């Protein structure tokens, strides 16, 4: 009896990734009826419904989501085993997610050298300040800034994450500069929104004692680039990551504030990935590349 289980899994994964039977058929180079028949046979064999079908879309059921995660792990292991035998050169699609400002400012400039060194890897880069679920959103690697929240992921440290308090020359001319951390209560501070609300308590060291100062302001956003642009435009004071702050300070676009009270952040920038995918060559290659680049952070030059 012919075993079609791997074929069924590959077809199911293609439907989930492509968002429909026709798109999956085009992706696989087969007919749409073949895709439909294969999925029907898979559901019949498993005894569960994997997809909610409508005339326009196919949406995963809860059983389908769980089965898809298992399919991805198994098919990745098979692809890895075959590629390791055929060729030592990393190949395939690499799906990466990174915070928007850091992605544009720091990750994108590193991609040309990486892609030249590994021409058989196709990089898909998504940039968002929202924390992505690697399994549900099908990412291989995520760049994370700050404290790591998901202990189920493996991580590699890229570099220290330090933030500095800054404002534009125009803002300081209109409103003056705070002399002490408590003076921030009289200033318009730019705030994070959503899951990163803890970043609105700014750490300082006053007379050798660490303290956190809650700040308030008229503008908040979940997008770091938006906050940076508002700071440069003179809207308010911001506690900004060094990769954006230091180049802007050198250009005279921003001015550092409260340097005598600067607290050393105990957080870092990491790359994270699923434990079961740590040996996939394209993932290892990209993680190693980033670790080498950021061992000496480019913004410190």
> Does the structure show a pLDDT above 80 at 247?
yes
Q: What is the pTM of this model?
A: 0.68
The pLDDT-based confidence of 263 (bands split at 50, 70, 90) is confident
pLDDT in tens, 268-284: 899 999 887 777 889 99
- What DSSP letter does each residue of the chain carry, written as one string? ----HHHHHHHHHHHHHHTSHHHHHHHHTS-HHHHHHHHHHHHHHHTS--EEE-SS-EEE-HHHHHHHHHHHHHHHHHHHHHHHHH-SS--EEEEEEE-HHHIIIIIGGGHHHHHHH-TTEEEEEEE-SSPP-TTTTT-SEEEEESS---TTSEEEEEEEE-EEEEE-HHHHHHH---SSGGGGGGS-BEEE-GGGGGGGEEEEEETTEEEEEE---SEEES-HHHHHHHHHTTS-BEEEEHHHHHHHHHHTSSEEE-GGGBPPP-EEEEEEE-GGGTT-HHHHHHHHHHHHHHTS-GGG-
Domains defined along the chain, listed by start: 5-77 (1.10.10.10), 87-157+268-296 (3.40.190.10), 163-261 (3.40.190.10)
Mean pLDDT, the chain, as a whole number?
A: 89
């Amino acid at each position: 009896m012919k075993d079609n289980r791997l074929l069924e899994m590959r077809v199911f994964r293609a439907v989930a990734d492509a968002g429909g039977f026709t798109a999956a058929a085009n992706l696989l180079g087969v007919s749409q009826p073949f895709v439909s028949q294969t999925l029907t046979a898979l559901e019949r064999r498993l005894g569960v419904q994997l997809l909610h079908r409508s005339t326009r879309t196919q949406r995963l059921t809860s059983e389908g989501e769980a089965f898809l995660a298992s399919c991805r792990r198994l098919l990745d292991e098979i692809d890895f085993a075959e590629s390791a035998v055929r060729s030592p050169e990393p190949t395939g699609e690499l799906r990466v997610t990174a915070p928007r400002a850091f992605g544009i400012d720091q990750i994108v400039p590193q991609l040309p050298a990486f892609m030249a060194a590994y021409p058989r890897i196709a990089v898909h880069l998504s940039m968002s300040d929202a924390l992505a679920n690697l399994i549900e959103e099908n990412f291989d690697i995520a760049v994370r800034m700050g404290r790591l929240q998901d202990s189920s992921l493996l991580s590699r440290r890229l570099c220290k994450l330090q933030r500095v308090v800054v404002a534009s020359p125009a803002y300081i001319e209109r409103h003056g500069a705070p002399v002490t951390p408590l003076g921030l209560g009289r200033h318009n501070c730019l705030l994070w929104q959503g899951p990163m609300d803890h970043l609105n308590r700014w750490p300082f060291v006053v007379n050798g004692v660490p303290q956190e100062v809650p700040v308030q302001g008229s503008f908040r956003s979940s997008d770091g680039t938006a906050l940076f642009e508002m700071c440069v435009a003179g809207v308010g004071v911001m506690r900004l990551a060094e990769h954006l702050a230091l180049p802007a300070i050198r250009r005279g676009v921003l001015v550092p504030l409260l340097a005598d009270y600067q607290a050393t952040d105990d957080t870092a920038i990491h790359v994270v990935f699923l434990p079961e995918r740590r040996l996939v060559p394209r993932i290892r290659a990209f993680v190693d590349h980033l670790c080498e680049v950021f061992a000496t952070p480019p913004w410190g030059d």
